[in-house]
Amino acid sequence: MTNTADMTVTRTRRGDEPVATPSEIVLDVDGLSVEYAGAGAPVRACTDVTFQLRRGEILGVVGESGSGKSTLITALTRLQRPPAVTTSGRVVFHPQSGEPGIDLVQLKPRALRALRWTSLSIVLQSAMDALNPVMRLGAQFVDVLRVHDRSMSRAAAWEEARRLLGLVGISADRARSYPHELSGGMRQRATIALALACRPELVVMDEPTTAVDVVMQRQILAQVLRLRREFGFAVVFVTHDLSLLLELADRIAVMYAGRIVELASAGDLYRTPMHPYTRGLRDSFPPLHAPVERLEGIPGTPPDLRALPAGCPFAPRCPAVMDRCREELPLLVSHDGSGPEQGGRSVACHLHDEEVVR
């Protein structure tokens, strides 16, 4: 696991938060909110999401179904469709180190298309959603490569397609196969290779291991880590499986009811989770290096995103709830990191308000 840079932490609100040097930041998300409009009250799927991603860093995003993870991904990449609407916030992408950032929320569709696959790539949850079922695998690579480099010959593009497939352990002869002729794991690895075709600075992955078995999950994770080391791209990796992120991510953002409730290094999150929801997620899977004990689930169900409570949305399920939790929404505030290799940690919980560095 790659360690992140040391930062002094105060608050996560813009204007008072710790900021890495501009050359280190590849993605700067500030106050992003997304709603789904309907006949009644809107569904507030993402609310005031704020974080920064450094070059070469893997940020994991985890939470239960309905926590806002996939909505966040579609908003970051501008893939959301009506009735989803980005109501506020910025998503500033820095494709080149030291260059001014680009706000993806405001970007014109034509300029956005030029960024996709070249600087910003997406790996979808289902490989069959990304691959054309009636085109040979290699031909799909050739199309992507030649669209973004019109000087590349077809023969050179086919050769590059075979090389890219080799990076993820797929033999060159499979370039002539159709997607349905490949296993699920092979299709998923092919989409990762396709995402890297134009050497992006940022790869966004939406639950790419959901449809494969545990053995293939581990192979995909190992390949993501190896390719990140080789090419230096940053990753936003979304999953419902916290145990998977503990092996993969540098930092982890925990989402609940459309908000980030905790953001910390993977090591800190596992050893000392600060938010009761994070602790519940950690305790819901068996330990790797300790005797197996009775697993505890999180009682209750997530709130209705059309009618969120006034206070903390986790309050009805929280084992440590206080009166204040039911009345006042906790803000995401930052705390000291636990060591020189950590990038600091943030939590939205009244239990830790007295520990905030002002």
Q: Could you read off the pLDDT of 70-120 as tens digits, one per residue?
A: 999 999 999 999 999 999 999 999 998 878 899 999 999 999 988 988 999
Weakest mean pLDDT among 71-85, 203-217, 336-350: 336-350
Q: What is the pLDDT of residues 274-284, one digit of tens each?
A: 999 999 999 88
DSSP letter assigned to residue 313 = T
Q: Please state the rounded mean pLDDT for residues 188-204.
A: 94
Nearest one of 133, 98, 91, 127 to 112, comparing CA atoms: 91
Instruction: Quickly state the pLDDT bin for 9 (edges 50, 70, 90).
Output: very low
CB 124 within 8 A of CB 206: yes
> In 3-state terms, what secondary structure has residue 35?
strand
Cα separation, 143 vs 158, in Å, equals: 10
Q: Give the least confident one: 159-163, 178-182, 206-210, 247-251.
A: 206-210
Q: Does 251 or 291 have the greater pLDDT score?
A: 251
Residue 34 pairs with which residues in a beta bridge?
46, 86
- pLDDT of the residue at 25: 93
The conformational region for residue 15 under phi > 0 = left, psi -120 to 50 = alpha, else beta, is left
Residue 118 CB: number of other CB atoms within 10 A?
18
Distance of alpha carbon 197 from the chain centroid = 20
Q: Is the distance from CB of 265 to CB of 19 less than 8 angstroms?
A: no
Confidence band of 44 (pLDDT split at 50, 70, 90): very high
**From the CB of residue 289, how many other CB atoms can be counted at a distance below 10 Å?**
4
Q: Output the pTM of the full model.
A: 0.88
3-state secondary structure at position 177: coil
Q: Which residues pair with 116 in a beta bridge?
A: 120
Q: What is the pLDDT of residue 358?
A: 35
Query: How far, CA to CA in Å, does 322 sit from each of 63, 290, 305, 319, 349?
Result: 23, 32, 22, 9, 11
Kindly indicate the confidence band of residue 23, based on its pLDDT and cuts at 50, 70 and 90: low
Q: Rounded mean pLDDT of 122-142?
A: 89
Other residues' Cβ atoms within 10 Å of the Cβ of residue 178: 14
Q: Average pLDDT of 191-195?
A: 94
The pLDDT mean for the chain works out to 87
Q: For position 354, what pLDDT does the model report?
A: 59
Q: Is 128 exposed, middle or buried (0-12, 13-18, 19+ CB in 10 A)?
A: middle
pLDDT of 314 higher than 80: yes
b/e burial code for range 72-85 (CB count within 10 A of at least 16 → b): bbbbbbbbbeeebe
Tens digits of per-residue pLDDT, 216-275?
888 889 999 999 999 999 999 999 999 999 999 999 999 999 999 999 999 999 999 999
For 65-74, 156-165, 280-289, which range has the lowest pLDDT when averaged over its residues? 280-289
Confidence at residue 14, expressed as pLDDT on a 0 to 100 scale: 37
Whether the per-residue pLDDT at 343 is higher than 60: the answer is no
The predicted model gives 274-303 an average pLDDT of 85
- For residues 159 and 161, what is the distance between their CA atoms, to the nearest angstrom? 5
Q: What is the mean pLDDT of residues 179-192?
A: 92
